[in-house]
Structure 1
Amino acid sequence: MSTPDAAASARRTPASHAVAVHKVLNNNVVIAKAGAVPLQLLELGLVFAVLAVVSDSMWVLAAAAARTWFARSPKCIERLTATGGGMMIGLGGMLLVTGPKH
């Protein structure tokens, strides 16, 4: 789904990057007075990466547990496969009917 904001962000200029950095610095995400702004940004990036890995790992473990639970019954797997296939066909049909808006 493409929005005007997404299209505008795809055409960012160096000046718009400076504005984005200015917004980060002025919204107390990074405290310039504390010094070592690059290190603060690095720390924020590392915190994001760690949270993303932990969150994704939890989803992987939950999916593996669900797969194991469903795999106990071949009939259950068959129904799950049919349901997934039906959903894919339904979503494809919706895309066919609605189509792109541009």
Structure 2
Amino acid sequence: MCIAYLAVTIVTIVANAAVVVADLARANFVLANLAELGLPRSWLPLLAVLKALGAAGLLLGLLGVRGIGAAAAIGLVAFFAGAVIAHLRARVFHNVVFPGGYLALAVTSLVLAITH
């Protein structure tokens, strides 16, 4: 297994798992971000589940189920592309780097998943 694929995918899994915990704990920064974007708090559980499924799928990819890993990476790319777009549409520029960073991790995980 490629070291880069392993390293980047583990970082992506851990980053997404950490933000899922913050979502489920309803951390102040998560609630503030939702408010700034004009999104209802009722969306938070679904957003957390989508990120958790992405992280779990990446883990399955590391464990040998390559198709699931690639599909999970595609899902995370779509999710975080949507998050970046939501930030840009709402003109919330001060923290767009965070979904942008998650998007970069997801894209890199996807590229490495399909090329390793």
Normalised TM-score (structure 2)? 0.27
Give the structure with higher Rg (CA).
Answer: 1
Higher relative contact order at CA 8 Å, sep ≥6: structure 1 or structure 2? 2
Normalised TM-score (structure 1)? 0.30
